[in-house]
């Protein structure tokens, strides 16, 4: 856990969210001869206290009467009381705002406009349904998403988003008070209109439509929601980009960084990538990104500065030999660098170590692990001292302590190490875990079996040391380490299965043949780099079949630039 005293912004208590429910009424359509789904949306009142003027789905807060209605509603055996109450709220709000009621007649047919004409949208639906022989159709409603309003907002809701098929024979008519202009729209169309500026929507609405557009029919949507669990849950976070507020949900690249820097939801952290200034992440951690962004490095190599003015600083991955970048590292530390640590010897991580050392009056030691015998000449690296697996690097002054645990993680490179900032639960992952891409495993120095074993070890250490965040050498901070590592492992094993299938399909094929089959989902511009990881997988498969073999397949291919897949 991050120490509270290291947080950049004062802690605060977010407003408690109010339970609510929303309904996505769906119907099947055809566009250009292809099946599509349309969703019913309306424009909120310009005087609404939440999202005024925005196009949205009908919905609102849970009412005490919803529990009574749920008791007599028709539901699936798998729907519990809480789900039924939220579903009733979504049905009630849809009726009040749009005049559409999901209800069964006693004869087993569905209510239509003739039934709606007998009902008062301003009165409680439970008594009216009993009076007119109707039963609320909770069994026709399925959970789609679960949104909790961002922590920075003064009005917050904990909202269940439901989906249901639009009843045949009913027509949506807005109430003219809360909702206006009901419109059937394809998700893609709504998103395009929003981008064009004539269909305003808030962040959860847009992201829900982005998920909905992947379905080709209403039946497909309802089938996907049949488990009684929302397809996803999110409480977005806000940051600043180009001077404007941007929202991110879990899984978006900046989300973990926003959670680290502004855990209570303050919308203060800049997300713009730049290489001229160090970006504070905590009181004792800064990131300075080198200006070497590109296809293989993303926004650039992240150099991390750990420590304070009182303790002095450790620089992790000084990056390429870029004088401007090194001068900025020197300035950000006031020249009080106590150690320079290289996670591995690749050209975007280690060459700046010696020039940075020479700039410092006390010549801090360069620490790391020497290049392996199979590494390329361009990656040649010899530290002042070899780091040992499990050793500690410490900064301390008057009770202010920052300890880094060294973890040997061969795989991407044979001399790769990661570092754990023990007091704050942070993992500096170098190139072993990245944000936005998967690292290249480049034989003969790189090894896929070692990489996967190192992932397993990092997973265990993250659990043991209660690590909440991963600070990669490329990209934003990541949260949920276990999930990130599980995703990487699953990706590698899935890719390996594709490679095995390609080899089985073309047993006499070439590397290029297998690459086209196994990496068909990867842009061709990345295939030269991906061929190295393919080779690493082939070596691993060969090791599994012939564990005593001394022949390495990497000798069959010319070297390609190392980087990230």
For residue range 380-439, list pLDDT tens digits in order: 999 999 999 999 999 999 999 999 999 999 999 999 999 999 999 999 999 999 998 899
Q: How does DSSP classify residue 355?
A: H
First-to-last C-alpha distance (Å) of the chain: 31
| Distance in angstroms (rounded) separating the CA atoms of residues 120 and 118 | 7
Q: Compute the average pLDDT of residues 145-165.
A: 96
Query: Which DSSP helix (H) or strand (E) runs through 450?
Result: helix 448-464
Omega before residue 444 within 30° of 0, cis: yes
Strands 34-44 and 18-31: antiparallel
Torsion angle of the four alpha carbons 74, 76, 78, 79, in this order, in degrees rounded to the nearest 10: -40
Backbone angle region of 316, left / alpha / beta, with phi > 0 → left and psi within -120 to 50 → alpha? beta
Q: What is the mean pLDDT of the chain?
A: 94
> pTM for this one?
0.91
Structure token digits, residue 463: 């659990």
The predicted pLDDT at position 565 comes to 44
Q: Compute the average pLDDT of residues 231-252.
A: 96
CB 27 within 8 A of CB 166: yes
Token pair 């599980």 is found at 486
The predicted pLDDT at position 551 comes to 46
Comparing 48-62, 230-244, 248-262, the range with the smallest average pLDDT is: 48-62
Query: Which is nearest to 465 in space by CA: 407, 552, 533, 536?
Result: 407
| Distance in angstroms (rounded) separating the CA atoms of residues 333 and 313 | 7
Q: Residue 163 pLDDT more than 90? A: yes
Query: pLDDT above 90 covers what percent of the chain?
Result: 91
| Distance in angstroms (rounded) separating the CA atoms of residues 400 and 308 | 9
Query: Which DSSP helix (H) or strand (E) runs through 148?
Result: strand 142-148
Backbone angles phi, psi at 193, to 5 degrees: -65, -35
Q: Compute the average pLDDT of residues 264-274.
A: 96
Query: Which is nearest to 485 in space by CA: 544, 438, 537?
Result: 438
Question: How far are the Cα atoms of 305, 329, 405, 527 from residue 268, in angstroms, in the given order?
Answer: 21, 24, 31, 39
Question: How does DSSP assign 172-239, residue by residue?
Answer: ----SSSEEEEEEE-HHHHHHHHHHTSS---HHHHHHHHHHTT-SSHHHHHHHTTTSS-S-EE--EEE
Q: Compute the average pLDDT of residues 124-142.
A: 95
The predicted pLDDT at position 552 comes to 52
The predicted pLDDT at position 221 comes to 98
Q: Compute the average pLDDT of residues 295-310.
A: 96
| Distance in angstroms (rounded) separating the CA atoms of residues 268 and 282 | 13
Backbone angles phi, psi at 248, to 5 degrees: -135, 145
Query: pLDDT tens-digit profile of 5-61?
Result: 999 999 999 999 999 999 999 999 999 889 999 999 999 998 887 889 999 999 999
Q: Residue 562 pLDDT more than 50? A: no
Of the pLDDT bands very low, low, confident and very high (cuts 50, 70, 90), residue 347 is: very high
CB 182 within 8 A of CB 174: yes
Residues linked to residue 554 through DSSP beta bridges, in sequence order = none
Structure token digits, residue 103: 């209800």
Structure token digits, residue 349: 């991580």
Alpha-carbon Rg of the chain, whole angstroms?
28
Query: pLDDT tens-digit profile of 508-559?
Result: 999 999 999 999 999 999 999 999 999 999 999 998 886 655 545 555 454 4
CB 170 within 8 A of CB 106: no
Q: How does DSSP classify residue 74?
A: B
């Amino acid at each position: 856990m991050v120490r509270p005293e290291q947080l950049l912004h004062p802690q605060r208590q977010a407003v408690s969210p109010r339970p609510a429910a929303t309904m996505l009424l769906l119907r099947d359509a055809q566009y250009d001869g292809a099946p599509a789904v349309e969703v019913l949306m309306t424009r909120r009142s310009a005087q609404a206290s939440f999202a005024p003027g925005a196009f949205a789905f009908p919905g609102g807060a849970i009412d005490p009467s919803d529990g009574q209605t749920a008791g007599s509603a028709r539901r699936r055996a798998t729907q519990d009381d809480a789900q039924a109450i939220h579903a009733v709220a979504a049905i009630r709000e849809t009726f009040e705002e749009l005049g559409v009621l999901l209800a069964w007649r006693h004869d087993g047919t569905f209510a239509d406009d003739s039934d709606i004409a007998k009902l008062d949208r301003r009165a409680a639906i439970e008594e009216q349904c009993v009076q007119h022989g109707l039963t609320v159709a909770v069994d026709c409603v399925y959970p789609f998403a679960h949104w909790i309003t961002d922590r920075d907002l003064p009005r917050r809701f904990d909202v269940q988003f439901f989906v249901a098929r639009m009843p045949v024979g009913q027509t949506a008519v807005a109430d003219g008070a809360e909702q206006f202009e009901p419109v059937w729209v394809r998700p893609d169309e709504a998103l395009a209109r929003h981008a064009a500026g004539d269909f305003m929507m808030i962040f959860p609405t847009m992201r829900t439509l982005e998920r909905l557009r992947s379905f080709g029919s209403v039946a497909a949507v309802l089938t996907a929601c049949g488990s009684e669990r929302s397809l996803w849950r999110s409480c977005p976070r806000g940051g600043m980009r180009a001077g404007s507020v941007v929202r991110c949900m879990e899984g978006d690249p900046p989300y973990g960084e926003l959670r680290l820097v502004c855990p209570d939801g303050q919308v203060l952290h800049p997300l713009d990538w730049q290489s001229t200034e160090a970006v504070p992440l905590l009181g004792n951690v800064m990131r300075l990104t080198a200006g070497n962004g590109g296809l293989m490095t993303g926004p650039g190599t992240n150099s991390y500065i750990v420590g304070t003015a009182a303790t002095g600083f450790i620089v992790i991955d000084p990056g390429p030999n870029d004088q401007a970048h090194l001068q900025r590292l020197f300035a950000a530390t006031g020249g009080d660098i106590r150690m320079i640590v290289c996670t591995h010897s690749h050209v975007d991580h280690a060459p700046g170590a010696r020039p940075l050392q020479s700039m410092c009056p006390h010549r801090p030691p360069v620490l790391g692990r020497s290049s392996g015998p199979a590494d390329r000449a361009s990656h040649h690296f010899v530290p002042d001292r070899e780091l040992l697996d499990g050793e500690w690097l410490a900064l301390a002054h008057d009770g202010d302590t920052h300890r880094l645990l060294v973890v040997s993680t061969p795989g991407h490179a044979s001399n790769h190490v990661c570092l754990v900032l023990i007091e704050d639960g942070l993992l500096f992952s170098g190139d072993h875990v990245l944000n936005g891409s998967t690292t290249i495993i480049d034989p003969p120095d790189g090894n896929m079996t070692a990489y996967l074993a190192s992932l397993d070890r990092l997973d265990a250490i993250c659990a043991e040391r209660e690590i909440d965040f991963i600070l990669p050498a490329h990209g934003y901070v990541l949260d949920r380490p276990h999930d990130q590592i599980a995703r990487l492992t699953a990706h590698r094993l899935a890719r390996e299965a594709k490679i095995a299938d390609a080899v089985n399909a073309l047993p006499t094929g070439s590397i290029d043949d297998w690459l086209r089959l196994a990496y068909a989902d990867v842009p061709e511009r990345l295939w030269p780099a991906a061929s190295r990881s393919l080779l690493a997988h082939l070596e691993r498969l060969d090791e599994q079949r012939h564990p005593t073999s001394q022949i390495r397949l990497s000798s069959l291919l010319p070297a390609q630039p190392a980087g990230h897949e």
